[in-house]
Structure 1
């Protein structure tokens, strides 16, 4: 059973403008430690790719926050929600701390899709109820 659906589109140029204004502090606010390490690697090799990586993570977390119905209110925070990658390359959501506890207590499961093009990053998220409350 679907608990919520979220979608987000992000202008990569807006992310670049935030990086220009705030520097790495902006990335540190949005990204988990693991994501921040990946961002550094991608940014060093190809700065535009690093900006698009940050934009896709921003977009995915926005879509997820909409799908769970919290927006950016506790227990949802940027850094407690991480966008990982399975060995197949498929993106997946990894939760931490109080957000993980809240999500698991509700018996939820998440599916995320992210994409980017030169000027835009977009994400689509579906959150399902699993177990005895849902499927």
Structure 2
């Protein structure tokens, strides 16, 4: 059964501007430790790849927070919600800390889809009740 649906569109230019203003501190505030490692690797290859990665993850966190119905209130924290890719490339949401405990207690499971173009990143999240 569907618990909630969330979607978000993020202007990549806005994320780029935030990085220019605040440096890597901005990424460290938004990304979890595993995401941060991927961000740094992609950014080292090409600045635009790193910025697009950060934008898609920012968007996914926004969409997830909407789908669970909490917004950005506790236990939802930026760094406790990571969107990482499986070996197949499929994105998945991995939760940590109090957010993971709350999510598990609710009996929920999340599905995420990400996409980006030159100026925008978009995410779509469906959260459903786990089957017994």
Give the alignment's TM-score, normalised by structure 2.
Answer: 0.98
Please say if 1:110 is aligned against 2:114.
no
Compute the displacement of 1:131 (Å): 3.2
Structure 1, unpaired ranges of 5+: none
**Aligned position for 1:81:** 81
Please say if 1:92 is aligned against 2:88.
no
SS of the counterpart of 1:88? coil
Q: Which runs of 4+ in 1 moved over 2 A?
A: none
Q: How many residues are treated as equivalent by the alignment?
A: 132
Give the alignment's TM-score, normalised by structure 1.
Answer: 0.96
CA offset digits 1:36-75 (Å, max 9, x no partner): 1111111111000100000000000100000000111100
RMSD: 0.7
SS of the counterpart of 2:103? helix
State which drifts further: 2-11 or 36-45: 36-45
Structure 2, unpaired ranges of 5+: none
